[in-house]
Structure 1
């Protein structure tokens, strides 16, 4: 199985898919008091004004920035840009009042409504799915150490080429995605393939900013998970592979030492990874 250039996701295609997924996701309306809107909006604008003053931003630079902001909106790239460059700080603030497993960003490639699977299951994949076979095991517990039965582990990740189903052409819907339900003792065992690092799409305005600033556009290989159970705080996180490329320079700044997997290579058989999740009461 090979990936051709025509199979690669474009910024426009990924942006459109991410925007559509965001708009269609079930979200509770949040009533924000005017005082809070005033406080945060003024702070954001003050930060922008201060940057302009400190760096002597010129009119041509201001007009270029205005054009770039318009291009991001027209290309549907706001979910991509915000999830890569802003979400990690929102998650950092939320983590100040949370116990249990460390969280991380959700990112733009989540798709709800995936197939529910038993505690021992293989994620849906193509026949002969390319990549190193991976078995991911662990237990879901509460902060007291007691197992959490029937916890849902909503799992998704990139394939061996670094592409996500639903966001790249030629990949079946639901590929390498699923909702695994832990057993009565909180255990789970998920069979999949090791994901590859991936480059966020660079052919749109987000990519132009990255190139203009001389940054790289790579994220280290990772598994995405949303872990939930009735009566517990839902955890959204990512798990990374030790020694992986870009682990120390993630463009999204979302890596944490606590989220690096315990890998156990096998002489015969798949790569094995272990991680336990700890949920706190809601």
Structure 2
């Protein structure tokens, strides 16, 4: 059997992995009441009916939609499609009242259980990992300004080719993934590499929609974080890079001005560094 390389990762492989991760997550989710389901489902269906009437949707278009929706399921791409096109609004609503750091979407590529790392750490990576070295450092505080000792930062990112471990077949299991515990002052120093912008998988159903609509399929380079501390709300966010490709036209509409980093040359002359503090709201 020919080994599938990192650059040959497909929508089917990514979709299957994302779907399995979501199924595992759903095992511990709380059920929604029948009244809530009825309200939301009715309004969604009403909105669809309105679109059909306003745009005089034909039977040919309706059948094409059914065929596409069936194929999305067969491709295992519902997590990908929903996280790219819908999640940013859910995140905005969920975090609208918070005073601390801005959140962003989780996306389909989070995997729990990454290796535990100390307050100053290098993310797991291959020998000679390609990419510009990056030192990401800062402090975790509460909205009252007090540091949060032992705050936990779950971090994951794409590599310099735009691929995520466990979603591209040849990458090591925990490549560029780790769970960092801040020190007694809530500070952390994470050594990693600059991620790359990446095109979401386009060889499946989501890609077919993007092509048919004439959209692009690119996300800007970013770092993912979940930041947690006892007695505080966990932040899920993404951090982007000033001047990066697609920062202004992210297909997932997840970029916020507060989440854009502006790295400078590292003080040791090795790559870049940036300081960014996270502020958590009380639970």
Both proteins in one fold, TM over 0.5: yes
Q: Which moved more, 1:22-31 or 1:56-65?
A: 22-31
Alignment partners' CA distance in 2, 1:277 and 1:20: 30
- Which residue is 2:221 aligned to? 221
Gapped regions of structure 2 (runs ≥ 5): none
Find the counterpart in structure 1 of residue 139 from structure 2: 139
Find the counterpart in structure 1 of residue 120 from structure 2: 120
1:75-86 superposed matches below 5 A: 75-86=75-86
**Compared with structure 1, are the counterparts of its residues 153 and 6 closer, same or farther at alpha carbon in structure 2 (3 Å cutoff)?**
closer
1:52 equivalent to 2:52? Answer: yes
State the TM-score, normalized to the length of structure 1: 0.96
Deviation at 1:25, TM superposition (A): 2.9
Contact 1:25 1:112 in 2 (8 A): no
| Cα 1:26/1:181, change in 2 over 3 Å | farther
CA-atom RMSD in angstroms: 1.3
Q: 2:280 matched to which residue of 1?
A: 279
Alignment of 1:25-36 (within 5 A): 25=25, 28-36=28-36
Q: The residue matched to 2:88 in structure 1 has which SS?
A: helix
Aligned to 2:97: 97
What secondary structure does 2:150 align onto?
coil
Q: Which range moves more in the overlay, 110-119 or 92-101?
A: 92-101
Q: How far apart are the structure 1 equivalents of 2:26 and 2:45?
A: 30
Judge conservation of contact 1:149–1:185 (CA < 8 Å) in 2. yes
Query: Using the alignment, how far apart are the partners of 1:102 and 1:174 within structure 2?
Result: 26
Q: Report what 1:209 is aligned to.
A: 209
Does structure 2 conserve the Cα–Cα contact (< 8 Å) formed by 1:116 and 1:180? Answer: yes
Number of the residue aligned with 2:176: 176
Question: 1:107 aligns to what?
Answer: 107
Shift of 1:29: 3.2
Q: Distance in 2 between matches of 1:26 and 1:228?
A: 21
| Cα drift, residue 6 of structure 1 | 6.6
**Could you tell me how far 1:31 is from its partner in structure 2?**
3.0
**What are the superposed Cα offsets for residues 108-152 of structure 1, whole Å, 9 maximum, x if unpaired?**
000000011000000000000000000000000000100001011
Q: Which residue of 2 aligns with 1:163?
A: 163
Q: Secondary structure at the match of 2:263?
A: strand
Change (3 A) 1:6 1:146: closer
Q: Distance in 2 between matches of 1:214 and 1:29?
A: 36
In 2, Cα distance between the equivalents of 1:27 and 1:278? Answer: 30
After TM superposition, the structure 1 stretch with the greater mean CA deviation from structure 2, 23-32 or 201-210, is 23-32
Structure 1 residue 26: deviation in Å?
Answer: 6.7
**Other-structure match for 1:189:** 189
Are the aligned partners of 1:262 and 1:275 in contact in 2 as well (CA < 8 Å)? Answer: no
Write the distance in 2 (CA, Å) between the matches of 1:5 and 1:126. 15
- Tell me, what secondary structure is at the counterpart of 1:238? strand
Change (3 A) 1:5 1:53: farther
State which drifts further: 261-270 or 126-135: 261-270
Structure 1 residue 39, shift from structure 2 partner = 0.9
Q: What is the Cα deviation at residue 251 of structure 1?
A: 0.2
How much has 1:5 moved relative to structure 2? Answer: 6.9
Instruction: Give the whole-Å Cα distance in 1 for the aligned partners of 2:43 and 2:116.
Output: 43
Asked if the contact 1:265–1:272 (Cα under 8 Å) also holds between the matched residues in 2, the reply is yes
- Does the Cα contact within 8 Å between 1:242 and 1:260 map onto a contact in 2? yes
